[in-house]
Amino acid sequence: MVSEAIVERIPHAVTMRNQIPKSYLPYDLYCNLIPNNDPNVSTFMQVPRLWAFEVSYKGHLIFSKLQGKYWPNVELVATKCAGIVEAIENGEDVSPFLAQGSSGRARGNSPKKQGTAKKSQNIVTPQKASPS
């Protein structure tokens, strides 16, 4: 349901389940990745956590069931996804679209976190339209 609502608002989005694009590796949000040195595969798999449901984009946590302790409002999550994609494209502040407590910073730009276990992710990746 969430994937469909996201694609409805971002027509060329690709949603992934427990897959992290290799280009997202610098972000603190993504750890517990399964090593993948195959140059033909553009994603890492992420070890899922029980009862987790999260939506993120380029290291920005948009929704976390574990953090909020509730299931998502599908329409709200999809709207926040569209908003964060647009904000990033326009160089605007993304904080209104983030889950509470999310910084979305790259590794090396944030303080070290001790004992942090990351969660399973739904990743939103907008794609360019292909000619029909």
Give tens-digit pLDDT for 67-98.
Answer: 999 999 999 999 999 999 999 999 999 999 99
Output the pLDDT for position 17: 92
Instruction: For the chain, give every domain's residue range.
Output: 2-126
Output the pLDDT for position 100: 79
Q: CA–CA separation, 124 vs 78, rounded Å?
A: 10
Instruction: List C-alpha distances in Å: 5 to 28, 58, 73, 121, 127.
Output: 27, 19, 11, 17, 16
Residue type, 66: L
Tell me the pLDDT tens digit for each residue of 32-67. Answer: 899 999 999 999 999 988 899 999 999 999 999 999
> Higher confidence at residue 111 or residue 46?
46
Q: CA–CA separation, 101 vs 5, rounded Å?
A: 24
Structure pTM? 0.74
Closest CA to 93 of 84, 80, 82, 101: 84
